[in-house]
Structure 1
Amino acid sequence: MDSLVKYVQDEFVTKKELPEFSAGDTITVYYEIKEGTKTRTQFFRGTVIQRRGSGATETFTIRKMSGSVGVERIFPLNLPALQKIEVNKRGKVRRARIFYFRGLTGKKARIKEQLRS
Structure 2
Amino acid sequence: MNKLKKFENRHLEKLKGLKKIPNFNSGDTVTVYVKIIERKRERTQAFEGVCIAKKNAGINSSFTVRKISYGEGVERVFPLYSPNVARIEIKTKGRVRRAKLYYLRNLSGRKSKITEDKTAEKKDAENNINKDKIDNNKLEKKNEEQKKEKEKNEKSTKKSKKENQGEIKK
Following the alignment from structure 1 to structure 2, what is the Cα–Cα distance between the partners of residues 12 and 54?
Answer: 13
Aligned-CA RMSD value: 1.1
Q: Specify the code of the residue in structure 1 equivalent to 2:106.
A: G
Structure with more relative contact order (C-alpha pairs < 8 Å, separation 6 or more): 1
2:85 paired residue among 75, 82, 98? 82
Q: Which residue of structure 2 lines up, in the alignment, with residue 95 of structure 1? A: 98
Q: Which string of whole-angstrom CA distances, capped at 9 and with x for unpartnered residues, describes residues 26-61 of structure 1?
A: 000011100111100101000000001321000000
Structure 1 residue 4: deviation in Å?
1.4
TM-score, structure 1 normalization: 0.94
Q: Which residue of structure 1 lines up, in the alignment, with residue 5 of structure 2? A: 6
Task: Specify every segment of 5 or more residues in structure 2 that has no aligned partner in the other structure, as ranges.
Answer: 124-170
Following the alignment from structure 2 to structure 1, what is the Cα–Cα distance between the partners of residues 90 and 2?
Answer: 34
The secondary structure found in structure 2 opposite 1:42 is: strand
Alignment pair present for 1:31 and 2:30: no
Q: Which residue of structure 2 lines up, in the alignment, with residue 18 of structure 1? A: 21
1:43-58 → structure 2 map (5 Å cutoff): 43-58=46-61
Identical-pair percentage = 41
TM-score, structure 2 normalization: 0.66
The secondary structure found in structure 1 opposite 2:2 is: helix
Q: Specify the code of the residue in structure 1 equivalent to 2:33.
A: Y
Aligned length: 116
Task: Specify every segment of 5 or more residues in structure 1 that has no aligned partner in the other structure, as ranges.
Answer: none
Whichever structure has more helix as a proportion of its residues is: 2
| Deviation >4 Å, runs of 4+ | none
The secondary structure found in structure 2 opposite 1:64 is: strand
Higher-Rg member (1/2): 2
